[in-house]
Amino acid sequence: MPSKRKSMTTADKLQKILNDPYLFISLFMKIVDKNGNTVPFKTNKQQATLLSDMAFD
């Protein structure tokens, strides 16, 4: 029998996003590229390392 997952409330989802800077960046941050297009911000290796090394509490 499959296990039932408790669905997250909107408040739970918001709290999860706010507690995870990488998730926040990947979902909400946009930049303008050299062609003038608005594109999703994607962290490079150094930025991802910095985020993982920082403490967010």
5 band by pLDDT with thresholds 50, 70 and 90: confident
Find the angle CA(21)-CA(19)-CA(7) to the nearest 5 degrees.
Answer: 120
Q: How far apart are CA 46 and CA 49, in angstroms?
A: 5
User: What rounded mean pLDDT belongs to the chain?
Assistant: 90
Residue 40 reports pLDDT greater than 80: yes
> Which H or E run includes 18?
helix 10-18
39 band by pLDDT with thresholds 50, 70 and 90: very high
54 band by pLDDT with thresholds 50, 70 and 90: confident
Residue 56 reports pLDDT greater than 90: no
| C-alpha distances in Å from residue 25, one per residue of 3, 14, 20, 35 | 31, 13, 9, 21
Contact 30, 40 (CB under 8 A): yes
